[in-house]
Amino acid sequence: MQWMWGMVLLGFSFAVSAEPLRLGIGTHKPPYVFQGEARGLEYEIVVAAAKHAGFAVQVTHAPMERLHLRLRRGEIDAIATTNEQSGIDAFYSEPHIYYQNVALALRARHYKIERIADLGNYSVSAFQRARFLLGSEFQRMAQNNPRYREEAQQIARNRLLYSGRIEVVVADMRILRYLNREVL
């Protein structure tokens, strides 16, 4: 499952002024975003694009559910990343980064997962808002699977998988590999 992700701007136009663009970016998901640091593949792309467009940028990190809520309330002006399937009535940018989301299980368990629907047979942990962002088939699986859950912190999936408390994780391969350093 490869998905394009773009930044979303709240439904009004911005005039370049002294007011900073209040940008919400998700929590720690290396190598894309390093929370508390002004770095990461996605962070640098989005901030550079906003600055190139003439904006001063004020970045806020928060879990995606909270960012979507804050955007709806007008507390922030934009979030990265989401897509049109998020359900937010807003202006969406062109994709600026690609995440390679995969379903991953421990080899020793010998699971046979060939389709998204197969995930319904297992306990699954995914990132926040995956049920909205990964398409209708994934959403159906999530709604019908009582053992499906979403975690705000990316590292939680690694910990749950390797401790045996979850059977399958859905996440970006780069994030999983990066965070393996902290749990293995």
Q: Considering its fold, how many domains does the chain have in total?
A: 2
Given this model, what pLDDT does residue 10 score? 47
Q: What is the mean pLDDT of the chain?
A: 90
Same domain? For 10 and 91 the reply is: yes
Q: Does residue 141 contact residue 115 with C-beta atoms inside 8 Å? A: no
- Which pLDDT band holds residue 8 (cuts at 50, 70, 90)? low
CA distance 89 to 10: 8
Taking only the tens place, the pLDDT of each residue in 79-98 is 998 888 888 888 888 899 99
Quick one: 7 and 94 in the same domain?
A: yes
On whether both 118 and 129 belong to a single domain, the answer is yes
The pTM score is 0.84
Q: How far is it, in rounded angstroms, from Cα 43 to Cα 50?
A: 11
Q: How far apart are CA 101 and CA 127, in angstroms?
A: 10
Domain final residue, candidates 48, 70, 98: 98
What is the SS3 assignment for 84? helix
Choice among 7-16, 19-28, 83-92 with the minimum mean pLDDT: 7-16
Domain span holding position 121:
100-183
Residue 13 has what pLDDT? Answer: 46
Residue 49 pLDDT more than 90? yes
